[in-house]
Amino acid sequence: MKKINLAGQEVFLGNIFCIGRNYLDHVKELKNANPSEPVVFLKPSSALIQTGEMIRLPDFSQDVHHECELVVYIKKDAFNVTQESAMDHIGGYAIGLDLTARDIQNQLKSKGLPWTKAKGFPTSACLSHFISPEEVENINAEKFYLNVNGQTRQQGNTEHMMFSCAYIISYLSRIYGLQAGDIIYTGTPAGVAAIQSGDELELILSDKISTKFSVA
């Protein structure tokens, strides 16, 4: 069972939940419809890599895109929780990448099939260490960035989320149930684009986290 770094301590990883279409500008750039509720998919734990590990592009795709996102760690089980109590279940925040084989995803979407092949390949879930919630004054107004080879590709602010962290946690707790150790990728802003072998990616969560990943 995989472990992740939470404020300097190793904790076990549970499920990897991901939220799609949570920033309006990203919805528009991919010409998707505005969701009326969170678009949810999952990645297997085998998809996860952490700081210091290499991104390896799958041989079945020619168009793997970066998607930089705030990631939330769930510290205790959550079933049917309200938005008002949802934040009590957060044990930490991180910055991560939801890598997507866009060509495969488009093929699957056109056939009405699940996206798992496009979203769940090894190294498709990149993750920094987690910081404690106390280090973040207002998670609903937190800036984050992705630089590729020294140039800014994505800039986001959690205030632009269509579904807030509290809403997402409450929703997931009602529909699926959340357990201690689960993590949630909360969606990406506009600016997604392909990555190539040799690229250097830097992920930044305001002035709190900075981490880097290289593409093999």
Q: What are the domain boundaries of the chain?
A: 3-214
Amino acid at 90: I
pLDDT at 215 over 80: yes
pLDDT at 33 over 80: no
Residues 6+ apart with CB under 8 A from 196: 215
Q: Which of 25-34, 67-76, 167-176, 197-206 has the lowest mean pLDDT?
A: 25-34
pTM of the model: 0.96
In CATH, what is the architecture of 3-214? Answer: Alpha-Beta Complex (3.90)
Residue 27's pLDDT band (boundaries 50, 70, 90)? low
The per-residue pLDDT for 1 is 84
Separation of alpha carbons 132 and 62, rounded Å: 37
Q: Answer whether 162's CB lies under 8 Å from 23's CB.
A: yes
Half-sphere exposure of 58 (CA within 13 A, CB side): 20
